[in-house]
Amino acid sequence: MTARPANAHQARLLRLLRDGGPNSRAQLGDQVELSRSKLAVEIDRLLETGLVVADGLAASRGGRRSHNVRLAPGLRFLSVDIGATSVDVAVTNPELEILGHLTEPMDVREGPVAVFEQVLALADKLKDSGVAEGFDGAGIGVPGPVRFPDGIPVAPPIMPGWDGFPVREALSQDLGCPVMVDNDVNLMAMGEQHAGVARSVRDFICVKIGTGIGCGIVVGGAVHRGATGSAGDIGHIQVVPGGRQCACGNHGCLEAHFSGYALARDAESAAVDGSSAELAARLAAAGRLDAADVAAAAAAGDPTSLTLIRDGGARTGQVIAGLVSFFNPALVVIGGGVTGLGHTLLASIRTQVYRQSLPLATGNLPIVLGELGPAAGVTGAARLISDHLFSPA
Amino acid sequence: MTARPANAHQARLLRLLRDGGPNSRAQLGDQVELSRSKLAVEIDRLLETGLVVADGLAASRGGRRSHNVRLAPGLRFLSVDIGATSVDVAVTNPELEILGHLTEPMDVREGPVAVFEQVLALADKLKDSGVAEGFDGAGIGVPGPVRFPDGIPVAPPIMPGWDGFPVREALSQDLGCPVMVDNDVNLMAMGEQHAGVARSVRDFICVKIGTGIGCGIVVGGAVHRGATGSAGDIGHIQVVPGGRQCACGNHGCLEAHFSGYALARDAESAAVDGSSAELAARLAAAGRLDAADVAAAAAAGDPTSLTLIRDGGARTGQVIAGLVSFFNPALVVIGGGVTGLGHTLLASIRTQVYRQSLPLATGNLPIVLGELGPAAGVTGAARLISDHLFSPA
């Protein structure tokens, strides 16, 4: 696809068709501020580009029956969500519905060349499965800050070898289509906004608790990326003055006390020092422990695991309480791998936020788990590239 | 004034004339995306409303000389900045230059009726001085959260008697002109953005340290007020787990450990318990102490006062460090009464932020004192009402 909308009206029509699916000219006309004749001109132009196709007659609304239009059904977006230890690659249709989705373990520390080799192989596999012949655009998420206009990771703490790598340019050449790159947490927020729990919410934060902890910020419906693309980097907010040493060099950062990584380490300590027989048995069986083990042990009634989850939730809640006071969001979404810890974690976060933030900010504030799970990131990636392609060139 | 711009083009032209002063039609044409003929139509309509007047011929740019236009020079905005213990009332011209400015002590706890009686008396005094015959609009700042669309304070902790009082409606009747109401800290941010240190900065935070502590947040050039108008309420972010009891009922809030109020209390304790002879002498002379006394004692070399300021700066810096990690602003402005503590306070805040936030967020981050002092709030109030009046009705 090379065509792009010629003006803001066309861009808006394309996004309406993306978000609402096939629609009649009459109903589109109700949603945009265009005269009947101007609407017809813009839709005819979009039909000429091939981005939009006719889709039969609409049901009668009383007068002459209106013609339906839809986005070209053959459009395909490639969505890539690179985590610290795994990668998700998916293909969506123009309405951002996922047609195929593959996940594989991966180590982001192996650097961009190795990671993109794996990504391209997964993309080929999806093509071979028949869900796409080619890609009209690709959205990529990486687990670190991104200089957004260029699509280049900047000083990513857990991604040695990625600093300054021209992800956007390199992948665009490999794939032969436009590419947009963003932080993985921003994509999770956009995914939940597009098709998840944050639908129609214009001001919210989305906290992702995975190997590390980050936060996507949506202001007035748009992602806030900050002056240098590092907005939402809340893993290094201090929660324990003089607390644990963090990989960043400071002490007492949230991530040092709670994250997928910290939780695994704490669980292994508890297994080794004899404070949890349940965790010790799991460590003996598996050779290592992760957040899922702690969740399973907690479900089996292990008090040490419950305490680890509750303490982690309280630390996270302490940081979120500050963000709620500062930002006064309409919604807080909790997502990421550690949400396997479920309602114990959520209850602990909620307790802390409702106790520490002022009632005016929390009175109508829902704090909820994300709805989309691993689909949030890839849905957000498709949203990112479609927002770009459905903007005036 | 009853006229309002009829469309977004006219609104934009009015704001350009407000922010840039009198200008030629030719140069205005360079700044807006309008054809020459459409620009002429819109300016002629603005001339008809009386909001804009002709202002002679512009200097030649080579061809035919262009006509100058300007905002009607008789337009007057009333700007009111209500603090906890004082009130500022000013009058501005349409370019938001302050023509007269009065300050009086005031106790916000006396409630809206008494406070507005004082405000109206000050407004009359300004009229009597000859700077205004009447007011075309008024902007009002109050020291607490505001339900912005209605202009009604909500659950303001330090303002008993104000909760739910229809400030906007009541003052609009008293003054006979349109009124807009906002939080005082948001007005400070808008003032520094209009004419102070944040000119042309689109993403910044402005921390006001007065009797309490609050923060104005500007995203993409516009104030972010949050879901319930309480965004920026950072005084109750926890800085000392299990710390001092705060008026809000929690322990260890920033305001409980540092603010104009906390500083005065700490200074009086140090005077009484014998740890500072300098403060004891000042207390004996004045009967009470405030932030200015601590500043003077510190300037005279009193180590206790210096420590109070440094500790307060470190607590404030600890909170700002978290906000910087979360929001990644392009600028941090420090303002409010306590900025009399000056560079000792600023150095202490900077040290903490640069130490605790990640280098990517602080690499190019200036942390500076506001430029406008007490003029920031009233300038912001004039900006608020002019933004409203210079919007399509």
Q: pLDDT, tens digit, for every residue of B242-289?
A: 899 998 889 999 999 999 889 999 999 999 999 999 999 999 999 999
Taking only residues 92 to 121 of chain A, the set having a beta carbon closer than 8 angstroms to any beta carbon of chain B reads none
Closest-CA residue to A22 (of A94, A90, A92, A98) = A94
Distance CA B42, CA B34 (A): 10
Q: Which residues of B319-344 are buried (b: 16+ CB within 10 A; e: fewer)?
A: bbbbbbbbbbbbbbbbbbbbbbbeeb
ipTM of this predicted structure: 0.91
∠ Cα B253 A235 B205 (to 5°): 55
Test B327 with A231 for CB contact under 8 angstroms: yes
**Which of A201, A230, A246 should be substituted to probe chain B, the one whose Cβ sees the most B Cβ atoms within 10 Å?**
A230
Q: What is the pTM of this model?
A: 0.92
- Which residues of chain A have a CB within 8 Å of the CB of B240? 241
**Which of B248, B325, B351 should be substituted to probe chain A, the one whose Cβ sees the most A Cβ atoms within 10 Å?**
B325
Distance CA A160, CA A141 (A): 16
pLDDT value of residue B1: 54
pLDDT value of residue A167: 95
The arithmetic mean of pLDDT across residues B208-235, rounded, is 94
The number of C-alpha atoms within 13 Å of B305 and in the hemisphere containing its C-beta is 26
Test A233 with B327 for CB contact under 8 angstroms: no
Is residue A308 within 8 Å of A341, Cβ to Cβ?
A: no
Residue of chain A whose Cα is closest to the Cα of B241: A240
Test B328 with A226 for CB contact under 8 angstroms: yes
Is residue A155 within 8 Å of A145, Cβ to Cβ?
A: yes
Closest CB to B248 among A233, A237, A358 = A358
The arithmetic mean of pLDDT across residues B354-376, rounded, is 91
- Which residues of chain A have a CB within 8 Å of the CB of B330? 227
The arithmetic mean of pLDDT across residues B189-209, rounded, is 96
- Which residues of chain B have a CB within 8 Å of the CB of A250? 355-356
Which range (B99-108, B183-192, B316-325, B353-362) has the least confidence? Answer: B353-362
Same fold yes or no, A77-193+375-389 and A199-369: yes
Q: How many CB atoms lie within 10 A of CB A44?
A: 10
C-alpha dihedral, B206 to B210 to B212 to B217, nearest 10°: -10
**Where are the strands (E) in A47-148, listed by range?**
52-57, 67-71, 77-82, 86-92, 98-105, 137-142, 146-147
Q: Where are the domains of chain B?
A: 8-71, 77-193+375-389, 199-369
Closest CB to A145 among B228, B323, B360 = B360
Q: Looking at CA atoms only, how far is residue B197 from chain A in angstroms? A: 17
- Which residues of chain B have a CB within 8 Å of the CB of A225? 328
pLDDT value of residue B189: 98
pLDDT value of residue B64: 67
Query: Which class is B8-71 in CATH?
Result: mainly alpha
- Which residues of chain A have a CB within 8 Å of the CB of B155? 359-360
- Whether chain B has a CB inside 8 Å of the CB on A275: the answer is no
**β-strand partners of A331:** A204
Test B322 with A234 for CB contact under 8 angstroms: yes
Residue B65 in this model has a pLDDT that exceeds 80: no
Q: Looking at CA atoms only, how far is residue A228 from chain B in angstroms? A: 7
Taking only residues 58 to 97 of chain A, the set having a beta carbon closer than 8 angstroms to any beta carbon of chain B reads none
* Fold category of B77-193+375-389 in CATH: Nucleotidyltransferase; domain 5 (3.30.420)
Test B230 with A328 for CB contact under 8 angstroms: yes
Give me the sign of the Cα torsion angle B43, B49, B51, B54: positive
Is residue B207 within 8 Å of B213, Cβ to Cβ?
A: yes
Closest-CA residue to A313 (of A365, A267, A258) = A258
- Whether chain B has a CB inside 8 Å of the CB on A230: the answer is yes
Tokens of B66: 């262009």
Residue of chain A whose Cα is closest to the Cα of B235: A325
pLDDT value of residue A67: 82
Test A226 with B323 for CB contact under 8 angstroms: no
Test B327 with A226 for CB contact under 8 angstroms: yes
Closest CB to B326 among A234, A240, A358 = A234
Distance CA B71, CA A277 (A): 78
- Whether chain B has a CB inside 8 Å of the CB on A145: the answer is yes
- Whether chain B has a CB inside 8 Å of the CB on A354: the answer is no
pLDDT value of residue A285: 95
Closest CB to B325 among A224, A234, A361 = A234
- Whether chain B has a CB inside 8 Å of the CB on A351: the answer is no
- Whether chain B has a CB inside 8 Å of the CB on A40: the answer is no
**β-strand partners of A325:** none
- Which residues of chain B have a CB within 8 Å of the CB of A365? 227
- Whether chain A has a CB inside 8 Å of the CB on B326: the answer is yes
Would you write out chain A's pLDDT as a tens digit for each of its 393 residues?
Answer: 568 899 999 999 999 999 999 999 888 988 887 888 889 999 999 999 999 999 887 676 676 667 899 999 999 999 999 998 899 999 999 999 999 999 999 999 999 999 999 999 999 999 999 999 999 999 999 998 999 989 999 877 778 889 999 999 999 999 999 999 999 999 999 999 999 999 989 999 999 998 889 999 999 999 999 999 999 999 999 999 889 999 888 999 999 999 988 999 999 999 999 999 999 999 999 999 998 899 999 999 999 999 999 999 999 999 999 999 999 999 999 998 776 788 889 999 999 999 998 888 898 899 999 999 989 999 999 999 999 999 998
Helices (H), chain B: 8-20, 25-31, 36-49, 112-128, 167-175, 184-195, 254-257, 260-272, 277-286, 291-299, 303-327, 342-356, 359-362, 375-389
- Which residues of chain B have a CB within 8 Å of the CB of A145? 360
DSSP string, A265-300: HHHHHHHHTTS-HHHHHHHHHHSS--HHHHHHHHHT
Q: Does domain A199-369 have CATH number 1.10.10.10?
A: no
- Whether chain A has a CB inside 8 Å of the CB on B158: the answer is no
- Whether chain B has a CB inside 8 Å of the CB on A228: the answer is yes
Q: Looking at CA atoms only, how far is residue B380 from chain A in angstroms? A: 20
Residue of chain B whose Cα is closest to the Cα of A327: B231
Closest CB to B227 among A236, A325, A328 = A328
